[in-house]
Protein backbone atom coordinates (compact mmCIF):
# COMPACT_ATOMS: atom_id res chain seq x y z
CA UNK A 1 0.00 0.00 0.00
CA UNK A 2 2.13 2.86 -1.16
CA UNK A 3 0.92 6.39 -1.33
CA UNK A 4 -0.36 7.61 -4.66
CA UNK A 5 2.04 10.47 -4.81
CA UNK A 6 4.99 8.20 -4.26
CA UNK A 7 4.91 7.74 -7.99
CA UNK A 8 5.92 11.36 -8.25
CA UNK A 9 9.31 12.86 -7.49
CA UNK A 10 9.56 14.67 -4.12
CA UNK A 11 8.64 18.33 -4.25
CA UNK A 12 11.41 20.93 -3.89
CA UNK A 13 11.63 24.65 -3.21
CA UNK A 14 9.76 27.17 -1.10
CA UNK A 15 6.29 26.97 -2.62
CA UNK A 16 5.73 23.28 -1.99
CA UNK A 17 7.20 23.69 1.50
CA UNK A 18 4.58 26.25 2.45
CA UNK A 19 1.92 24.03 0.91
CA UNK A 20 3.11 21.18 3.09
CA UNK A 21 2.82 23.24 6.24
CA UNK A 22 -0.69 24.15 5.19
CA UNK A 23 -1.43 20.50 4.59
CA UNK A 24 -0.34 19.49 8.07
CA UNK A 25 -2.24 22.40 9.57
CA UNK A 26 -5.48 21.30 7.93
CA UNK A 27 -4.97 17.69 8.99
CA UNK A 28 -4.27 18.74 12.58
CA UNK A 29 -7.34 20.98 12.65
CA UNK A 30 -9.45 18.04 11.62
CA UNK A 31 -7.80 15.93 14.28
CA UNK A 32 -8.79 18.59 16.82
CA UNK A 33 -12.38 18.49 15.59
CA UNK A 34 -12.54 14.72 15.99
CA UNK A 35 -10.87 14.82 19.40
CA UNK A 36 -12.94 17.69 20.80
CA UNK A 37 -15.80 15.66 22.31
CA UNK A 38 -13.43 13.12 23.83
CA UNK A 39 -11.24 15.83 25.34
CA UNK A 40 -14.26 17.61 26.77
CA UNK A 41 -15.57 14.35 28.20
CA UNK A 42 -12.31 13.28 29.81
CA UNK A 43 -11.34 16.67 31.20
CA UNK A 44 -14.81 17.43 32.55
CA UNK A 45 -15.05 14.04 34.22
CA UNK A 46 -11.96 14.89 36.30
CA UNK A 47 -13.19 18.33 37.38
CA UNK A 48 -15.09 19.23 40.51
CA UNK A 49 -18.48 20.91 40.10
CA UNK A 50 -17.03 24.20 41.32
CA UNK A 51 -14.37 24.11 38.71
CA UNK A 52 -16.91 23.40 36.01
CA UNK A 53 -18.89 26.44 37.09
CA UNK A 54 -15.89 28.75 37.12
CA UNK A 55 -13.78 27.24 34.36
CA UNK A 56 -14.52 27.00 30.67
CA UNK A 57 -15.42 24.23 28.27
CA UNK A 58 -11.91 23.56 27.09
CA UNK A 59 -9.90 24.29 30.23
CA UNK A 60 -8.05 21.36 31.67
CA UNK A 61 -8.79 20.34 35.26
CA UNK A 62 -6.60 22.17 37.80
CA UNK A 63 -6.98 19.57 40.51
CA UNK A 64 -7.60 16.17 39.12
CA UNK A 65 -10.46 14.67 41.06
CA UNK A 66 -11.73 11.14 40.58
CA UNK A 67 -14.81 11.80 42.72
CA UNK A 68 -17.09 12.00 39.70
CA UNK A 69 -15.89 8.60 38.48
CA UNK A 70 -16.42 6.94 41.85
CA UNK A 71 -19.81 8.59 42.20
CA UNK A 72 -20.87 7.58 38.68
CA UNK A 73 -19.71 4.03 39.21
CA UNK A 74 -21.22 3.39 42.64
CA UNK A 75 -23.84 5.95 43.64
CA UNK A 76 -25.33 7.82 40.68
CA UNK A 77 -29.09 7.44 40.32
CA UNK A 78 -30.44 5.76 37.21
CA UNK A 79 -34.12 6.45 37.64
CA UNK A 80 -34.89 5.54 41.24
CA UNK A 81 -32.02 3.09 41.43
CA UNK A 82 -29.00 4.71 43.07
CA UNK A 83 -26.46 1.94 42.69
CA UNK A 84 -24.45 3.76 40.04
CA UNK A 85 -23.40 2.45 36.65
CA UNK A 86 -21.69 -0.67 37.99
CA UNK A 87 -24.65 -3.08 37.88
CA UNK A 88 -25.57 -1.91 34.37
CA UNK A 89 -22.02 -2.33 33.21
CA UNK A 90 -22.24 -5.90 34.46
CA UNK A 91 -25.57 -6.32 32.64
CA UNK A 92 -23.88 -5.36 29.40
CA UNK A 93 -21.10 -7.85 30.03
CA UNK A 94 -23.61 -10.59 30.78
CA UNK A 95 -25.35 -9.83 27.48
CA UNK A 96 -22.31 -9.19 25.31
CA UNK A 97 -20.08 -12.15 26.19
CA UNK A 98 -22.49 -15.00 25.36
CA UNK A 99 -23.99 -13.13 22.40
CA UNK A 100 -20.56 -12.61 20.85
CA UNK A 101 -19.45 -16.19 21.42
CA UNK A 102 -22.63 -17.77 20.10
CA UNK A 103 -22.99 -15.55 17.05
CA UNK A 104 -19.32 -15.97 16.13
CA UNK A 105 -19.56 -19.74 16.44
CA UNK A 106 -22.63 -19.90 14.23
CA UNK A 107 -21.04 -17.50 11.76
CA UNK A 108 -17.96 -19.72 11.46
CA UNK A 109 -20.03 -22.87 10.94
CA UNK A 110 -22.29 -21.15 8.42
CA UNK A 111 -19.37 -19.70 6.51
CA UNK A 112 -17.71 -23.11 6.42
CA UNK A 113 -20.85 -24.95 5.30
CA UNK A 114 -21.69 -22.34 2.68
CA UNK A 115 -18.26 -22.38 1.07
CA UNK A 116 -16.78 -25.83 1.54
CA UNK A 117 -19.88 -28.03 1.48
CA UNK A 118 -21.96 -26.18 -0.99
CA UNK A 119 -25.45 -27.34 -1.66
CA UNK A 120 -28.09 -26.28 -4.13
CA UNK A 121 -29.52 -22.92 -3.10
CA UNK A 122 -26.57 -22.04 -0.86
CA UNK A 123 -26.16 -18.68 -2.57
CA UNK A 124 -29.83 -17.84 -2.24
CA UNK A 125 -29.76 -18.72 1.44
CA UNK A 126 -26.70 -16.61 2.00
CA UNK A 127 -28.21 -13.69 0.10
CA UNK A 128 -31.35 -13.89 2.24
CA UNK A 129 -29.36 -14.02 5.47
CA UNK A 130 -27.36 -11.01 4.39
CA UNK A 131 -30.18 -8.92 2.96
CA UNK A 132 -31.99 -8.92 6.28
CA UNK A 133 -29.19 -6.97 7.89
CA UNK A 134 -29.74 -4.02 5.58
CA UNK A 135 -33.30 -3.53 6.70
CA UNK A 136 -34.18 -1.06 9.44
CA UNK A 137 -34.70 -2.74 12.81
CA UNK A 138 -37.84 -0.69 13.31
CA UNK A 139 -39.81 -3.11 11.13
CA UNK A 140 -38.95 -5.92 13.54
CA UNK A 141 -39.23 -4.17 16.90
CA UNK A 142 -42.86 -4.75 17.74
CA UNK A 143 -43.07 -8.42 16.71
CA UNK A 144 -39.82 -8.99 18.58
CA UNK A 145 -41.23 -7.45 21.74
CA UNK A 146 -44.30 -9.69 21.40
CA UNK A 147 -42.27 -12.81 20.70
CA UNK A 148 -39.97 -12.22 23.67
CA UNK A 149 -43.13 -11.91 25.73
CA UNK A 150 -44.47 -15.25 24.46
CA UNK A 151 -41.13 -16.90 25.16
CA UNK A 152 -41.10 -15.51 28.68
CA UNK A 153 -37.92 -13.60 27.93
CA UNK A 154 -39.34 -10.08 28.01
CA UNK A 155 -37.10 -7.65 29.83
CA UNK A 156 -34.41 -10.21 30.53
CA UNK A 157 -30.76 -10.50 29.60
CA UNK A 158 -31.52 -13.84 27.91
CA UNK A 159 -33.97 -12.07 25.61
CA UNK A 160 -31.38 -9.52 24.56
CA UNK A 161 -28.79 -12.25 24.02
CA UNK A 162 -31.23 -13.98 21.67
CA UNK A 163 -31.91 -10.74 19.79
CA UNK A 164 -28.24 -9.92 19.36
CA UNK A 165 -27.33 -13.43 18.27
CA UNK A 166 -30.06 -13.52 15.61
CA UNK A 167 -29.38 -10.06 14.21
CA UNK A 168 -25.62 -10.58 14.38
CA UNK A 169 -25.72 -13.75 12.28
CA UNK A 170 -25.75 -11.90 8.98
CA UNK A 171 -22.44 -10.22 9.72
CA UNK A 172 -20.65 -13.12 11.34
CA UNK A 173 -21.70 -15.35 8.45
CA UNK A 174 -20.60 -12.73 5.93
CA UNK A 175 -17.18 -12.34 7.54
CA UNK A 176 -16.43 -16.06 7.72
CA UNK A 177 -17.89 -16.87 4.34
CA UNK A 178 -15.79 -14.28 2.55
CA UNK A 179 -12.74 -15.45 4.44
CA UNK A 180 -13.24 -19.15 3.81
CA UNK A 181 -13.82 -18.55 0.11
CA UNK A 182 -10.14 -17.71 -0.20
CA UNK A 183 -9.00 -20.90 1.53
CA UNK A 184 -8.24 -23.48 -1.18
CA UNK A 185 -10.90 -26.14 -1.58
CA UNK A 186 -8.13 -28.67 -2.19
CA UNK A 187 -7.29 -28.60 1.51
CA UNK A 188 -10.78 -29.82 2.32
CA UNK A 189 -10.82 -32.28 -0.54
CA UNK A 190 -7.54 -33.83 0.56
CA UNK A 191 -8.82 -34.18 4.11
CA UNK A 192 -12.02 -35.84 2.86
CA UNK A 193 -9.99 -38.37 0.94
CA UNK A 194 -8.08 -39.06 4.15
CA UNK A 195 -11.43 -39.85 5.72
CA UNK A 196 -11.96 -36.70 7.77
CA UNK A 197 -15.59 -35.70 8.30
CA UNK A 198 -17.44 -32.40 8.31
CA UNK A 199 -16.76 -31.39 11.90
CA UNK A 200 -13.28 -32.86 11.97
CA UNK A 201 -12.23 -30.74 9.02
CA UNK A 202 -13.82 -27.74 10.67
CA UNK A 203 -12.01 -28.09 13.99
CA UNK A 204 -8.72 -29.44 12.68
CA UNK A 205 -8.25 -27.42 9.50
CA UNK A 206 -10.58 -24.42 9.31
CA UNK A 207 -10.53 -23.18 12.89
CA UNK A 208 -6.74 -23.01 13.18
CA UNK A 209 -6.68 -21.00 9.95
CA UNK A 210 -9.38 -18.62 11.12
CA UNK A 211 -7.62 -16.57 13.77
CA UNK A 212 -7.54 -13.24 11.87
CA UNK A 213 -11.18 -13.33 10.85
CA UNK A 214 -12.17 -14.51 14.29
CA UNK A 215 -10.53 -11.43 15.80
CA UNK A 216 -12.31 -9.20 13.29
CA UNK A 217 -15.65 -10.85 14.00
CA UNK A 218 -15.32 -10.82 17.77
CA UNK A 219 -14.29 -7.17 17.83
CA UNK A 220 -17.05 -6.22 15.45
CA UNK A 221 -19.74 -8.05 17.38
CA UNK A 222 -18.44 -6.82 20.70
CA UNK A 223 -18.53 -3.19 19.56
CA UNK A 224 -21.94 -3.49 17.95
CA UNK A 225 -23.60 -5.21 20.87
CA UNK A 226 -21.93 -3.15 23.57
CA UNK A 227 -22.98 0.05 21.78
CA UNK A 228 -26.52 -1.09 21.06
CA UNK A 229 -29.17 1.23 22.35
CA UNK A 230 -32.33 0.58 20.33
CA UNK A 231 -32.78 -3.07 21.32
CA UNK A 232 -31.75 -2.40 24.90
CA UNK A 233 -34.20 0.47 25.21
CA UNK A 234 -37.01 -1.52 23.59
CA UNK A 235 -36.64 -4.92 25.24
CA UNK A 236 -34.83 -4.54 28.56
CA UNK A 237 -36.71 -3.49 31.66
CA UNK A 238 -35.51 -1.83 34.85
CA UNK A 239 -32.58 -3.60 36.45
CA UNK A 240 -31.71 -5.65 33.34
CA UNK A 241 -30.91 -2.63 31.17
CA UNK A 242 -27.56 -2.45 29.38
CA UNK A 243 -25.09 0.30 30.13
CA UNK A 244 -26.04 2.53 27.18
CA UNK A 245 -29.66 2.69 28.29
CA UNK A 246 -28.60 3.39 31.88
CA UNK A 247 -26.33 6.18 30.69
CA UNK A 248 -29.13 7.77 28.71
CA UNK A 249 -31.42 7.62 31.74
CA UNK A 250 -28.76 9.09 33.97
CA UNK A 251 -27.99 11.98 31.63
CA UNK A 252 -31.64 12.80 31.04
CA UNK A 253 -32.66 12.80 34.68
CA UNK A 254 -33.69 16.33 35.42
CA UNK A 255 -34.13 16.23 39.17
CA UNK A 256 -31.64 18.00 41.41
CA UNK A 257 -28.47 19.84 40.46
CA UNK A 258 -27.03 18.73 37.15
CA UNK A 259 -23.70 17.07 37.82
CA UNK A 260 -21.96 17.38 34.50
CA UNK A 261 -18.79 15.78 35.76
CA UNK A 262 -20.75 12.70 36.82
CA UNK A 263 -22.52 12.59 33.43
CA UNK A 264 -19.19 12.70 31.63
CA UNK A 265 -17.61 10.10 33.90
CA UNK A 266 -20.61 7.82 33.34
CA UNK A 267 -20.29 8.35 29.57
CA UNK A 268 -16.61 7.45 29.76
CA UNK A 269 -17.43 4.33 31.76
CA UNK A 270 -19.95 3.26 29.12
CA UNK A 271 -17.55 4.04 26.28
CA UNK A 272 -14.30 2.78 27.74
CA UNK A 273 -14.57 -0.92 26.78
CA UNK A 274 -15.05 -0.25 23.07
CA UNK A 275 -12.53 2.58 23.15
CA UNK A 276 -9.91 0.29 24.69
CA UNK A 277 -10.62 -2.40 22.13
CA UNK A 278 -10.29 0.17 19.36
CA UNK A 279 -7.01 1.46 20.76
CA UNK A 280 -5.57 -2.04 21.05
CA UNK A 281 -6.93 -3.60 17.89
CA UNK A 282 -8.10 -0.74 15.70
CA UNK A 283 -6.76 -2.43 12.61
CA UNK A 284 -9.15 -5.33 13.02
CA UNK A 285 -12.05 -3.06 13.86
CA UNK A 286 -11.51 -1.07 10.67
CA UNK A 287 -11.33 -4.25 8.66
CA UNK A 288 -14.70 -5.27 10.05
CA UNK A 289 -16.04 -1.79 9.43
CA UNK A 290 -15.22 -1.84 5.74
CA UNK A 291 -16.64 -5.34 5.43
CA UNK A 292 -19.74 -4.81 7.51
CA UNK A 293 -20.45 -1.14 7.43
CA UNK A 294 -23.99 -1.38 6.23
CA UNK A 295 -25.42 -2.21 9.60
CA UNK A 296 -26.51 1.10 11.11
143 in contact with other proteins (CB under 8 A): yes
CA 194 to chain centre: 41
Residue 236 bridge partners (DSSP): 155
142 in contact with other proteins (CB under 8 A): yes
What track of x and - describes contact with other proteins for positions 178 through 207 (by CB under 8 A)? x--xx--xx-xx--x----xx---------
CA distances from 91 to 53, 97, 128 (A): 34, 10, 32
Contact 178, 267 (CB under 8 A): no
- Which positions from 67 through 126 interact with other proteins, judged by CB under 8 A? 106, 109-110, 112-119, 122-123, 125-126
- Which positions from 226 through 245 interact with other proteins, judged by CB under 8 A? 226-230, 233-234, 244
Least Å distance between CB 142 and other proteins? 6
In angstroms, the CA 240 to CA 232 distance is: 9
Options 39-47, 61-69, 72-80, 93-101: segment touching other proteins (CB under 8 A) = 39-47
In angstroms, the CA 91 to CA 157 distance is: 7
Least Å distance between CB 77 and other proteins? 16
In angstroms, the CA 107 to CA 121 distance is: 18
Interface residue with other proteins among 17, 30, 74, 207 (CB under 8 A) is 30
48 in contact with other proteins (CB under 8 A): no
- Which positions from 144 through 173 interact with other proteins, judged by CB under 8 A? 144, 146-147, 166-167, 169-170, 173
138 in contact with other proteins (CB under 8 A): yes
In angstroms, the CA 25 to CA 22 distance is: 5
In angstroms, the CA 197 to CA 140 distance is: 38
Amino acid sequence: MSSLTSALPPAEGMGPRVARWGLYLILLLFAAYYLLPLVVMVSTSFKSLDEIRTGSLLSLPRDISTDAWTYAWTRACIGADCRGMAPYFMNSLVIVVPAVIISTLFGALNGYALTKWRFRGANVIFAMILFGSFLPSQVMLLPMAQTLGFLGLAGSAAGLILVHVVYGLAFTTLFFRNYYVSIPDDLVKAATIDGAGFFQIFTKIMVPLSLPIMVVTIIWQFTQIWNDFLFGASFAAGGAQPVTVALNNLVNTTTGVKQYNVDMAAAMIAGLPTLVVYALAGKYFIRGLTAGSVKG
